[in-house]
Structure 1
Amino acid sequence: MASTPSLFLRGTVWSWRRRVPEFSTQNRHWQLSLRTTERSIARIIARRLNYECDRMLDAISTGKLTPAQAKAWLSNVIRTELDRIERQRMVSRLDPVGTAEEDQRYDWATARAWRHLATTGLHPTLSEKARQSALSEGASPQELTTLETMLDLLSRDVMSEAGVNKMHRAARDCIQEAIGESITPSTMMTLQLRQMLLAGKAAAWEAAEGREDPSLEQARALAFAMVNESDAPEAPTSPPETDRPDCAAPREPVRNATPPAPGPQTHKFTYDPNLIQLVERINDEKDRDHIKEDTRRQLASQARLFISTTGVTDVTDITQAHLKYYKSVLQRLPKSYGKSAKDADRSVEDLLARAADLPEDKVGLSPRTINGHLDRFSLIFRVARSESLKISDDIQLSLLRVPETKRNRDKREAFALPELQQVFRHPIWTGSSNHKRRHVPGKTVLKDGLYWGPLMAAYSGARREEVLALEPEDFTIVDEIPCCHIRNNAHRGVKTLSSVRLVPIHSHLIDLGFLRHVEEMRKRGAAAIFPELIPENESQSFGDKLHYNWSKAVGLQLEGNPRRLCFHSLRHYVITHLKQLPEVTDKQRRDLVGHSGKDVHDEQYDEATSMPIMRGVVEQLPRMF
Structure 2
Amino acid sequence: MLDAITDGKLTPAQAKAWLTSVVRSELDRIERQRMISRMDPVGSCEEDQRLDWATARAWSHLASKGLHAELSDHDRRTVLNEGSNEADIASLETMLGVLSRDVLSEAGVNKMLRAARDSIQTATGETLNPATETILSLRQLLLAGKAAAWSASEGQEDPSLEQARALAREILDSAPAEISDTREPLHISEEATLIGAPAPIRISAQRPEFSFDPDIVALVERINAERDRDHIKEDTRKQLASQARLFIKATGITDVREITQGHLKFYKSVLQRLPTSYGKSPKDAERTIDELLARAEDLPEKKVGLSPRTINGHLDRFKLIFQFAKSESITISDSIELGLLRVREEKRNRDKREAFTLPELQQVFRHPIWTGCRSTSRRHERGNIVKADGLYWGPILAGYSGARREEVLGLEPRDVVSVDGIPCYHIRDNMHRGVKTFSSERLVPIHEHLMELGFLRHVEEMRQRGASALFPELIATNESQSFGDKIYYNWAKALVLQLDGNPRELCFHSFRHYAIAHLKELPEVSEKQRRDLVGHSGGDVHDEQYDVATSMTVMSGVVAKLPRLF
Q: Same fold (TM over 0.5)?
A: yes
Specify the code of the residue in structure 1 equivalent to 2:112. A
The residue matched to 1:577 in structure 2 has which SS? helix
> Equivalents in 2 of 1:550, 1:50: separation in Å?
40
Match of 2:85 in 1: none
- What corresponds to 2:465 in structure 1? 524
For 1:321, the equivalent position in structure 2 comes to 262
1:575 shift after superposition:
0.4
| Counterpart contact for 2:110–2:431, Cα < 8 Å | no
**Aligned-pair CA distance for 1:279:** 1.2
Q: 1:378 aligns with which of 307, 314, 319?
A: 319
Distance 2:274 2:126 in 1: 41
Between the two proteins, the alignment pairs up a number of residues equal to 453
Task: Label 1:430 to 1:611 Cα distance change in 2 as closer, same or farther (>3 A).
Answer: same
Partner of 1:388: 329
Q: Is the 8 A contact 1:421 1:624 kept in 2?
A: yes
Instruction: Name which of 221, 226, 240 aligns with 1:285.
Output: 226
Measure, in 2, the Cα distance between the counterparts of 1:509 and 1:172. 30
Q: Which residue pairs with 2:385 in the alignment?
A: 444
Matched, 1:496 2:437: yes
Per-residue Cα deviation, 1:442-486 (whole angstroms, up to 9, x for no partner):
222222222211111110110111111100000111111000000
CA distance in 2, matches of 1:566, 1:237: 53
- Kindly provide the CA deviation profile for residues 151-203 of structure 1, in whole angstroms up to 9, marking residues without a partner as x: xxxxxxxxxxxxxxx999427999xxxxxxxx9957898799989x8895599
Query: Is residue 358 of structure 2 the alignment partner of residue 417 of structure 1?
Result: yes
Shift of 1:274: 2.0
- 1:115 corresponding residue in structure 2: none
Deviation (angstroms), 1:428:
1.8
Whole-angstrom distance in 2 between the partners of 1:606 and 1:199: 37
CA–CA distance in structure 2, aligned partners of residues 50 and 484 of structure 1 = 33
- Corresponding residue for residue 608 of structure 1: 549
**Is contact 2:120-2:127 (8 Å) kept?**
no
> Structure 1 residues 239 and 511 mapped into 2: Cα distance closer, same or farther (>3 Å)?
closer
Residue correspondence of structure 1 range 198-217 to structure 2 within 5 A: 200-201=133-134
Residue 261, structure 1, aligned to residue 176, structure 2: no
Contact 1:245–1:261, Cα closer than 8 Å, also in 2: no
Distance 1:512 1:236, change over 3 A: closer
Alpha-carbon spacing, 1:384–1:70, altered in 2? closer, same or farther (3 Å): same
**2:484 paired residue among 535, 543, 555:** 543
Structure 1 pair 471/278, CA: closer, same or farther in 2 (3 Å)? same
Counterpart residue number, 2:30: none
Post-superposition shift, 1:271? 2.2
**Percent identical across equivalent pairs?**
61
Cα distance in 2, alignment partners of residues 286 and 271 from structure 1: 18
Cα distance in 2 for residues equivalent to 1:523 and 1:442: 29
Mapping of 1:448-463 within 5 angstroms?
A: 448-463=389-404
Aligned residue number for residue 16 of structure 1? none
Distance 1:236 1:472, change over 3 A: closer
Matching residue within 361, 364, 375 for 1:434: 375
Matched residues in 1 for 2:122 and 2:299: separation? 43
Change (3 A) 1:246 1:297: farther
- SS of equivalent to 2:418: strand
Q: What letter matches 2:207 in structure 1?
A: A
Note if 1:564 corresponds to 2:505.
yes
TM-score, normalised relative to structure 2: 0.69
d(CA) in 1 for partners of 2:360, 2:497: 12
2:181 is the counterpart of 1:240: no
What is the aligned counterpart of 1:480 among 413, 416, 421?
421
Matches of 1:523 and 1:619, distance apart in 2? 29
- 312-321 or 602-611, which deviates more: 312-321
| Alignment of structure 1 residues 169-208 onto 2, 5 Å | 169-170=111-112, 185=119, 200-201=133-134
Q: Distance in 2 between matches of 1:172 and 1:381?
A: 26
Give the whole-Å Cα distance in 2 for the aligned partners of 1:57 and 1:321.
44
SS at match of 1:590: helix
Q: Could you give the per-residue CA deviations for residues 517-572 of structure 1, whole angstroms, max 9, x where no partner exists?
A: 11111111011111122122222210212122222222222212111111111111
State which of 578, 584, 597 in structure 1 corresponds to 2:538: 597
Is the partner of 1:288 in helix, strand or coil? coil
Quote the Cα distance in structure 1 between the aligned partners of 2:19 and 2:414.
36
2:528 to 587, 592, 603: 587
Structure 1 CA distance for aligned equivalents of residues 376 and 126 of structure 2: 39
Q: Is the 8 A contact 1:74 1:200 kept in 2?
A: no
Counterpart for residue 362 of structure 1: 303
Q: Distance in 2 between matches of 1:554 and 1:603?
A: 37
Q: How does 1:25-40 map to 2 (within 5 A)?
A: none
Instruction: Flag the 1:193–1:73 CA change in 2: closer, same or farther, 3 A.
Output: farther
Contact 2:242 2:480 (8 Å CA) reproduced: no
Partner in structure 2 of residue 336 of structure 1: 277
- Structure 1 residues 344, 420: CA separation in 2 closer, same or farther (over 3 Å shift)? same
> In 1, are the aligned partners of 2:186 and 2:206 still within 8 Å (CA)?
no
Relative to the length of structure 1, the TM-score reads 0.63
Change (3 A) 1:256 1:409: farther
SS of 1:286's partner is coil
Q: Is the 8 A contact 1:504 1:611 kept in 2?
A: yes
The answer to whether the 8 A contact 1:299-1:376 is kept is yes
| DSSP-derived class of the 1:399 partner | helix
* Unpaired segments ≥5 residues, structure 2: 24-57, 68-107, 164-178, 188-203
Name the CA distance, whole Å, in 1 between partners of 2:521 and 2:386.
33
CA drift of 1:402 comes to: 0.8
Match of 2:167 in 1: none
Residues 112-131 of structure 1: matches in 2 within 5 Å? none
Contact 1:471 1:529 in 2 (8 A): yes
- Residue in 2 aligned with 1:41? none
Please tell me the residue identity of whatever aligns with 1:495.
Answer: K
Distance 2:162 2:475 in 1: 39
Matched, 1:403 2:351: no
Q: Note if contact 1:469-1:528 (Cα within 8 Å) is conserved in structure 2.
A: yes
Give, as a single letter, the amino acid of the residue that structure 2 aligns with 1:600. Answer: V
Matches within 5 A, 1:51-66: 64=20
CA deviation after TM superposition for structure 1 residue 336, in Å: 2.1
- For 1:63 and 1:415, locate their aligned partners in 2 and report how far apart those are by CA, in whole Å: 48
Deviations 1:571-613 (A, max 9, x none): 1110000000000000000000000000011101110000100
8 Å CA contact retained: 1:453, 1:468: yes
CA shift, 1:277, in A, is 1.8
Quickly say closer, same or farther: Cα 1:247–1:307, change in 2 above 3 A.
Answer: farther
- Alpha-carbon spacing, 1:50–1:614, altered in 2? closer, same or farther (3 Å): closer
Deviation at 1:616, TM superposition (A): 0.5
Alignment partners' CA distance in 2, 1:358 and 1:558: 22
CA distance in 2, matches of 1:505, 1:168: 24
Give the structure 1 partner of residue 80 of structure 2. Answer: none
User: Which ranges of structure 1 fall in alignment gaps of 5 or more residues?
Assistant: 2-19, 21-46, 78-165, 175-182, 205-222, 264-268
